[in-house]
Structure 1
Amino acid sequence: MPRRRAGAVALAMIVAGAILGAPVHEASASSVEHAAAAGEAGGPAARAADLVASMTTAEQAASVIMGHIPSTDPAALNAYMAQGFGGFILMGANMPAATADLPTVTGSLAVDTSLPPLIAIDQEGGIVSRLSADTYPASTALKSQPADVTAAAFAARASLVAQAGISVNFGTVADVTADTSSFIFGRALGTDPQASAERVAAATAAQEQFLASTLKHFPGHGAAPGDSHHAIPSTSESFEQWRTSDAVPFAAGVDAGASVLMFGHLTYTAVDAAPASLSARWHEIARDDLGFEGVIVTDDLGMLLSSGIPEYRDPVADAVAALAAGNDLVLMIAGSTPDTAGQMAAGIVAAIENGSLPPERLADAATRVLTLRLSLSAASADWALCSTCEPAS
């Protein structure tokens, strides 16, 4: 798990400002030093392990769920998160009419302000964007530009996200394809593995100065035709072929320090018949072959329901299967109600009690999630874009 590099925040913002034409206020040295010291004190992983050991099974189960309700009402959001969920994803329905009100929304999600949940957003820029203020270059422009332009764009993008009180950006598309008919083409950062890898690494390193960046959608949509929002795309690409093509941008992002890895609902039949998000083999590959040590999160489990495949029609069963496969955080949006996340937590507890999910697997997942939460909460710094800065178009 990479530590938050608060000391580099000021430098990242200066680089972004120089390239994008946006002057910045530098973070004060005292605040940066304080943040770095806070992140080191006691060790987040050790403290997380101690906290998880003191939790009930029900508390651990809730802590590995990232839920969602379509509301901007602070009271409703706070009551929802009081169930103990480890995270919340912001969608369009969570965006207030006035951008200035977004910190009120995100602030309401922290029931315990000393240990905020993981607050995530899909802020890729361009095609997938929740923040109207983000007019920085996105994938459609970046895929033809040098990697340093990607670094500048994502540093600026991450600063906007972090200022809103959001700690995780599901923003780095590491899928690679040259197929213009692919649903992921317009969101990918390149059309060949090496160029994509350079931009993915640049986007990762830039964002990690501000928040937890995420690589998606492992092991890669490029080789598997079809849209996983409506089906389970499949490819016969071999593991050896994957390792020299689709894997390259993910490996680069891992090496650059990505905190989160999102697993896609797609199947590489030569590796495993199950979707990667439910495949223990693909989780082993991410940990052992790529060396990823951070938090693994599913793509929206609601997408499995939307596939229409009968065996994936139960989100509670999907959540248990996802944890058993090796995910640390289960994400549910499409098809969910305000009760769904609680039902998933109860289902995880039941799986522990009936022996279908090892308690050690749940404890490991909860520890990884809590480690990231502790790391992020200890790494704040005093910085902000200047009030007169205008994002580059």
Structure 2
Amino acid sequence: MSEGELGRMAMAVLQPGFEGTEPPAWLRRALADGLGGVILFARNVAGLEGTAALAAKLRRERPDVVVAVDEEGGSVTRLEAAGGSSWPGNMALGVAGDEELTRRVARQIGRMVAAAGVTLDYAPVVDVNADPRNPVIGVRSFGSDPEEVGRHGAAWIEGLQSAGVAACAKHFPGHGDTVTDSHLALPAVRASREVIERRDLPPFRAAIAAGVRAVMCGHLLVPAVDALPATLSRAVLTGLLREEMGFEGLVVTDAIEMRAVAALHPPGEIAVRALAAGADAICVGVSSARGESVYALRDAIIGAVREGRLAEERLAEAAGRVRDLAAWYDAQAEARKAVARDADEGLGLAAAMAALRATPAEPPEPLTRAPLVVHLAARPSQAVGRATPLTLGEALGELLPGTVTAQMHDDGRLPDLRDTGRPLVIAVHDAVRHAWMRRLLEEALRARPDAIVVETGVPGPPAGRVYLATHGASTASARAAARWLAGGV
């Protein structure tokens, strides 16, 4: 194979990010040189029309480019980052318990993603949330029961792909039983192979049976399968996912700049080892300003082939799977036209309402006066990124003008809560994970035992006069909670 042909194959397996809402010159050049894909982030989004225009410009340079995005709904959104997701996330859908509802929500997310010109949505998360302390999965999971996660994951995949956009089940072989964020360090799943088979793999099997077009591997250490991180493990990606589970679609890595793997090897070496293990596409969230880092990855892959460390046939197979995904997308043009006419008005709020759970179960006396809303929230993880969903205070302010809000982080102090003359609502997110949050909540409830507590993350023990769990922190969930509290149910 010539150097030029090898270079184009090496470029075909890369999916880099870039800055801005216009394709930079280096990206146009890279597409002409065979770049197979790109990933969009909030920094690239200028509304649906602007994003669609960007995707069209990318396809003018390379018609079969794979345009990918993280659009999970709930707390992880790129296309709606400016105002928060119109759709509840996975845990809310799991709690609602209606697979047809999940399918409908995913189809509408697919409608939005298709309108933006996206080929591949890095969703859904099908990790089983086995540890409520998990810092990066939590409400992104459909729940803690493998069968429920599998059923809702399959429904979500069917809904999204019915809109003519490829789905991607993540994070193989399962990121739910960890207490480490792989953006920051390498998590380890210490469970036995038997537990992994029974708990973590069933949702991926269900996703494969549902026809999912792609699977994203997690930067995870799973000693029961291999001593290498999953991203770099042939035993995980080829032995388990391909040979045992029969997956034939695209395997994509999580972003290789994440510290879980970036601390182990330089970027080019990670790309080479991941490809050799069985990955087909290398996700690179951050690229250098002039694209040198992308070409450095290409050169590392070419060098590994020339040195015999990466089989030419393996690289060709990976590039072929990227082309296959692009071909599948092209074949779905009629599905995308059909879904564009299929708006499901009010579905996001209705789905979020269906996920609300309160203790006691009966609604309290509706809030009729503008409350004080105290938000206790940790700073968002890198997975959430720049998303700025409507807060509960803002949502209540839409219904009860004059609502006052106070935002507290781990270094904050509560305002004086006594004799405010207002109802008090305390909003927490994942209090079960944060000792400082539980401490401030207890302090607030001592001062105001009449307070209403709203948990927007993974629920813990009920607290307050009323404890309302939304099972997610999207704009849809905030409006659902506000409506419930103001007597709109």
Decide: shared fold, TM above 0.5: yes
Secondary structure of the residue aligned to 1:375 is: helix
RMSD: 2.2
Q: Structure 1 counterpart of 2:118, which letter?
A: I
Find the aligned partners of 1:65 and 1:275 in 2 and give their Cα distance: 20
Q: Measured at CA, do residues 362 and 348 of structure 1 come closer, stay the same or move farther in structure 2, by a change above 3 Å?
A: same
Task: Specify which of 24, 42, 52 is matched with residue 92 of structure 1.
Answer: 42
Secondary structure of the residue aligned to 2:228 is: coil
Superposed CA deviations along residues 328-349 of structure 1, whole A, max 9, x for unmatched, are 1111114755221111011101
Q: Measured at CA, do residues 55 and 287 of structure 1 come closer, stay the same or move farther in structure 2, by a change above 3 Å?
A: farther
Report if aligned partners of 1:78, 1:110 keep a CA contact under 8 Å in 2: no
Structure with more contact order per residue of length (Cα contacts < 8 Å, sep ≥ 6): 1
Confirm or deny that 1:119 pairs with 2:67: yes
Report if aligned partners of 1:123, 1:171 keep a CA contact under 8 Å in 2: yes
1:217-366 matches, within 5 Å, as 217-283=171-237, 284-303=239-258, 306-307=259-260, 310-312=263-265, 314-334=266-286, 336-337=288-289, 338-366=291-319
Superposed CA deviations along residues 48-92 of structure 1, whole A, max 9, x for unmatched, are xxxx99971111110011111111124545344333211100011
1:54-133 matches, within 5 Å, as 56-74=5-23, 76=25, 77-96=27-46, 98-112=47-61, 115-132=63-80
Report if aligned partners of 2:48, 2:115 keep a CA contact under 8 Å in 1: no
Q: Measured at CA, do residues 388 and 377 of structure 1 come closer, stay the same or move farther in structure 2, by a change above 3 Å?
A: closer
Secondary structure of the residue aligned to 1:186 is: helix
Secondary structure of the residue aligned to 2:216 is: strand
**Shift, 1:112, TM fit:** 4.7
Q: Measured at CA, do residues 177 and 372 of structure 1 come closer, stay the same or move farther in structure 2, by a change above 3 Å?
A: same
Report if aligned partners of 1:302, 1:336 keep a CA contact under 8 Å in 2: no
Find the aligned partners of 1:335 and 1:108 in 2 and give their Cα distance: 19
Find the aligned partners of 1:178 and 1:308 in 2 and give their Cα distance: 23
Find the aligned partners of 2:304 and 2:116 in 1 and give their Cα distance: 37
Report if aligned partners of 1:75, 1:108 keep a CA contact under 8 Å in 2: no
1:370-385 matches, within 5 Å, as 370-381=323-334, 382-383=337-338, 384-385=340-341
1:176-187 matches, within 5 Å, as 176-183=128-135, 184-187=137-140
Q: Measured at CA, do residues 334 and 215 of structure 1 come closer, stay the same or move farther in structure 2, by a change above 3 Å?
A: same
Q: Measured at CA, do residues 261 and 135 of structure 1 come closer, stay the same or move farther in structure 2, by a change above 3 Å?
A: same
Task: Specify which of 88, 99, 120 is matched with residue 137 of structure 1.
Answer: 88
Identical residues among aligned pairs (%): 32
Q: Structure 2 counterpart of 1:285, which letter?
A: L
Report if aligned partners of 1:143, 1:191 keep a CA contact under 8 Å in 2: no
Stretch deviating more after TM superposition (291-300 or 185-194)? 185-194
TM-score relative to the length of structure 1: 0.81
Q: Structure 1 counterpart of 2:166, which letter?
A: A
**Shift, 1:318, TM fit:** 0.6
**Shift, 1:355, TM fit:** 1.0
Find the aligned partners of 1:85 and 1:135 in 2 and give their Cα distance: 33
Secondary structure of the residue aligned to 1:56 is: helix
**Shift, 1:369, TM fit:** 1.1
Superposed CA deviations along residues 335-371 of structure 1, whole A, max 9, x for unmatched, are 7552211110111011111111111110111111111
Flag structure 1 segments of 5+ consecutive residues without an equivalent: 1-51
Secondary structure of the residue aligned to 2:59 is: coil
Secondary structure of the residue aligned to 1:171 is: coil
Confirm or deny that 1:392 pairs with 2:343: no
Report if aligned partners of 2:254, 2:283 keep a CA contact under 8 Å in 1: yes
Task: Specify which of 126, 131, 147 is matched with residue 99 of structure 2.
Answer: 147
Secondary structure of the residue aligned to 2:348 is: coil
Q: Structure 2 counterpart of 1:66, which letter?
A: Q
TM-score relative to the length of structure 2: 0.65
**Shift, 1:187, TM fit:** 0.5
Superposed CA deviations along residues 93-143 of structure 1, whole A, max 9, x for unmatched, are 1011x4321111111111456x32110000001110012284123224112
Q: Structure 1 counterpart of 2:70, which letter?
A: D
Superposed CA deviations along residues 134-163 of structure 1, whole A, max 9, x for unmatched, are 412322411202222111110110111011
Report if aligned partners of 2:183, 2:260 keep a CA contact under 8 Å in 1: yes
Find the aligned partners of 1:336 and 1:180 in 2 and give their Cα distance: 37
Find the aligned partners of 2:75 and 2:122 in 1 and give their Cα distance: 14
Q: Structure 1 counterpart of 2:86, which letter?
A: T
Secondary structure of the residue aligned to 1:225 is: coil
1:160-175 matches, within 5 Å, as 160-175=112-127
Stretch deviating more after TM superposition (341-350 or 124-133)? 124-133
Q: Measured at CA, do residues 335 and 60 of structure 1 come closer, stay the same or move farther in structure 2, by a change above 3 Å?
A: closer
Secondary structure of the residue aligned to 2:50 is: helix
Q: Measured at CA, do residues 388 and 236 of structure 1 come closer, stay the same or move farther in structure 2, by a change above 3 Å?
A: closer
Q: Structure 2 counterpart of 1:136, which letter?
A: W
Number of the residue aligned with 2:109: 157
Find the aligned partners of 1:327 and 1:58 in 2 and give their Cα distance: 18
Larger Rg: 2
Flag structure 2 segments of 5+ consecutive residues without an equivalent: 350-489
